Amino acid sequence: MKILVGLISLIAVLLVALAGPLYKFGMIELATAFAGFKFGVFAGIAALVLLVIQLLFKRNTASVGSALISAVLAITAIAIPVSMMSTAKKVPPIHDISTDLANPPTFVAIAPLRADAPNPAAYAGAETAEQQRKAYPDLKTLHYNQSQPELIEATKQAVENLGWELVNIDVDSGIVEATDTTAWFGFKDDVVVRVTDNDSARLVDIRSKSRVGGSDLGKNAARIGTFINELDSVLAE
Question: Which CATH number belongs to the domain containing residue 139 in this structure?
Answer: 3.30.310.80
Nearest in space to 131 (alpha carbons), one of 57, 203, 215, 207? 215
d(CA 192, CA 212): 17
The pLDDT score that the predictor gives to residue 2 is 79
The reply to whether 163 and 191 lie within a common domain is: yes
Average pLDDT in the 27-56 region? 95
The reply to whether 13 and 105 lie within a common domain is: no
The reply to whether 65 and 137 lie within a common domain is: no
The reply to whether 216 and 100 lie within a common domain is: yes
The reply to whether 110 and 29 lie within a common domain is: no
State percent of the chain over pLDDT 70. Answer: 100
Average pLDDT in the 148-168 region? 98
The reply to whether 40 and 132 lie within a common domain is: no
The reply to whether 47 and 132 lie within a common domain is: no
Nearest in space to 179 (alpha carbons), one of 236, 220, 150, 146? 220
Contact call for residues 105 and 155 (beta carbons, < 8 A): no
Nearest in space to 9 (alpha carbons), one of 32, 54, 41? 41
Is the pLDDT assigned to residue 59 strictly greater than 80? no
Nearest in space to 203 (alpha carbons), one of 213, 214, 195, 192? 195
The reply to whether 20 and 127 lie within a common domain is: no
The pLDDT score that the predictor gives to residue 60 is 77
State percent of the chain over pLDDT 90. Answer: 91
The reply to whether 147 and 222 lie within a common domain is: yes
Q: Choose one of 66, 90, 114: the last residue of a domain.
A: 90
Average pLDDT in the 166-180 region? 97
The reply to whether 26 and 82 lie within a common domain is: yes
pTM: 0.92
Q: Choose one of 42, 63, 90: the last residue of a domain.
A: 90
Task: Residue 82: give the domain boundaries.
Answer: 2-90
The reply to whether 114 and 224 lie within a common domain is: yes
The reply to whether 174 and 100 lie within a common domain is: yes
Residue 5 contacts by C-beta under 8 Å, 6 or more apart in sequence?
47, 50, 51, 54, 66, 67, 70
What is the total count of domains within the chain?
2
d(CA 191, CA 97): 10
Average pLDDT in the 104-114 region? 98
Nearest in space to 202 (alpha carbons), one of 174, 230, 166? 174
Is the pLDDT assigned to residue 61 strictly greater than 80? no
Q: Choose one of 36, 67, 90: the last residue of a domain.
A: 90
